[in-house]
Amino acid sequence: MVNGKMNKTQTAAKHFSTGKNCAQSVLLAFAEELNLPEDQVIRMTSGFGGGIAKHGHVCGAVSGAIIVLGMKYADGGTPDEANAAAYSMVNKFLEEFEKKNSSIMCKDLIDGLDLNDPGDRAEWKSRNLHDVTCLPVVESAVRIIETL
């Protein structure tokens, strides 16, 4: 905390620990800065948890980070110029995220478990991967954004 206020990593962790998904938690950490209302963030990122609706695809923290980077860097100019600015930052983010976390794919990060399968979901819960794996990944995504 700085001056009694949580930093962005702490904000993301708080949201994640209260039931928000990875994408929601990352984007909510930057919502005030990006002038995004919390209810809109929650709605627009509701399908990204568990690697897009629990399918194990791109990690929700990565998806949330990509939205943040687009909002921050794809501002102004032609659509091609805005896209180029966003792509540049997203590529830097992806490189750093993969370096720190070994993959951008949710299923890889959670040891191949399928969160849509009841047995795998039970194993994910019993191994506490929400806190052991997913929370550090959310925090990592926020820290990487802040360094870009």
CA angle 15, 17, 20 (to 5 degrees): 50
Q: 7-18: buried (b, 16+ CB within 10 Å) or exposed (e) per residue?
A: ebbebbbebbee
54 pLDDT higher than 70: yes
Q: Given a cut of 60, is residue 49 above it in pLDDT? A: yes
pLDDT tens, residue by residue, 55-114: 999 999 999 999 999 999 998 789 999 999 999 999 999 999 999 999 999 999 999 999
The closest of 13, 12, 17, 16 to 31, measured between CA atoms, is 12
pLDDT, average across residues 112-135? 97
Q: Which residues have C-beta within 8 Å of that of residue 108, sequence separation ≥ 6?
A: 102
Mean pLDDT for 24-38 is 97
Q: DSSP alpha helices (H): ranges in 102-132? A: 106-109, 118-126, 129
Cα–Cα distance, 32 to 102 (Å, whole number): 30
| Predicted TM-score of the model (pTM) | 0.94
What pLDDT was estimated at residue 1?
A: 55
What confidence score (pLDDT) does residue 5 get?
Answer: 79
For the ranges 9-23, 31-45, 75-89, 129-143, the lowest mean pLDDT is seen at 75-89
The yes-or-no verdict on residue 117 having pLDDT over 90 is yes
Where are the chain's structural domains?
A: 8-147
More confident residue, 4 or 17: 17
- d(C-alpha 18, C-alpha 24), whole Å: 11
